[in-house]
Amino acid sequence: MLKLAIYFFLFFGFIFLVLFPPLGLLLLLLGFIFIVIAVANRKAEVLEDWSILIKNARGQRDKIISVTKDLIKNSKAPSIEMKEEKVGPGLEIVSFGETRDFLIVSDRRNTKLSSFKTFINANDYGDNLFVSWYLTYRPDFWQSLLMLLPGVKKSLGLR
């Protein structure tokens, strides 16, 4: 819907720039304001996810997370960063409200992979342990601008 508003204001802004310049400039200004809103509003998109409920494994969260960290370190993948953060709904990092502890794995040095993060979670669920991971994609500023163009998201292989 936001993309449609951007296209509308830019399209009619350029048309009215020729016919009635003050209205054309106003519509172009509104179009650029909507572009700024769209880029500032970008959120992580879950590309893949996996989860399992392990029966009678209550209290094993720390063991699962430490084994996962060890496996990642032992893989010797270059420039991988791992950190534990409190994450809220929508996989947004928050410091208050309802949160869960996640191990966040990313590659910040590789420009092709810097927009991808993997969120790994293990939480007690009754007598069981719920383990999950989410592969997310959150475009940076320039990628967000490019994705406003029709067809770019599909050409990159994203949903």
Task: Output the domain CATH number for residue 78.
Answer: 3.30.310
Tally Cβ neighbours within 10 Å of residue 38. Answer: 17
Residues 64 and 36 in one domain: no
Q: pTM value? A: 0.72
Q: pLDDT band at 49, cuts 50/70/90?
A: very high
**What's the pLDDT band for 2 if we cut at 50, 70, 90?**
confident
For the chain, how many structural domains are there in total?
2
What is the C-alpha to C-alpha distance for residues 33 and 66, in angstroms, rounded to an integer?
45
Is the pLDDT at 116 greater than 80, yes or no?
Answer: yes
Residue with tokens 């880029």: 39
Between 94 and 65, where is the model more confident?
A: 65
